């Protein structure tokens, strides 16, 4: 719509971007350093590879992530944040502090059957993936 009315709103567009599935997860994972493709898929909580490669392609086109293919055999790919990407840390940090303050409460009174209970899909967890996140997050705790 932005494009149509001529009044293009950067904030609206960013929100559209961040509400694409996995985008924020990808940024969060990449904030902890560069990752390979499969590694990223795991770090992000088990995103399937089809979606992941679409997202990465999109983020690369927008200049948020940078893809490097080392010309060894077999070629290794490395995804990392660009300057613009790294600046997203402010958003992740804001989410982080809000989550710590308010999300825990949601979980607690979730005992009454609401709040994330009914519709939270559980993708089949990789226990190891969480260690990654945990370690990365200590940074700003």
Partner DNA sequence: ATGTAGCACTCTAGAATGTCAAGTGCCACA
Partner DNA sequence: TGTGGCACTTGACATTCTAGAGTGCTACAT
What is the CB-side half-sphere exposure of residue 56 using CA atoms within 13 A?
Answer: 26
List residues near its own copies by CB under 8 A: 1-5, 7-16, 18-25, 28, 45-46, 58, 61-63, 84, 87-88, 90-107, 109, 114-116, 119-120, 122-127, 129-130, 133-134, 137
Decide: is 18 part of the binding site for DNA (CB under 7 A).
Answer: no
Residue 87 binds which entry of its own copies, DNA, none, with Cβ cut-offs from 5 to 8 Å by kind? its own copies
Query: In terms of CB distance, is 44 or 88 closer to DNA?
Result: 44
Contact predicate 57/49, CB 8 Å: no
Decide: is 43 part of the binding site for DNA (CB under 7 A).
Answer: no
Burial of 26 (0-12, 13-18, 19+ CB in 10 A): buried
Burial of 123 (0-12, 13-18, 19+ CB in 10 A): exposed
Q: Give the binding site for DNA (CB under 7 A).
A: 20-22, 36-39, 46-51, 53-54, 67, 69, 73-78, 119, 121, 123-124
């Amino acid at each position: 719509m932005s494009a149509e009315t001529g009044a293009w709103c950067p904030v609206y567009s960013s929100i559209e971007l961040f509400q694409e599935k996995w985008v924020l997860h990808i940024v969060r994972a990449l904030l902890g350093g560069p990752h390979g493709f499969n590694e990223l898929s795991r770090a992000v909580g088990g995103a399937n590879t089809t979606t992941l490669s679409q997202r990465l392609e999109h983020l690369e086109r927008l200049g948020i992530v940078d893809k490097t293919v080392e010309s060894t055999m077999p070629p290794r790919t490395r995804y990392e944040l660009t300057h613009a990407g790294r600046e997203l840390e402010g958003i992740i940090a804001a989410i982080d502090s809000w989550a710590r303050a308010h999300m825990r409460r949601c979980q607690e009174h979730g005992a009454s059957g609401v709040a994330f209970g009914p519709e939270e899909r559980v993708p089949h967890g990789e226990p190891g993936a969480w260690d990654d996140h945990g370690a990365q997050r200590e940074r700003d705790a």
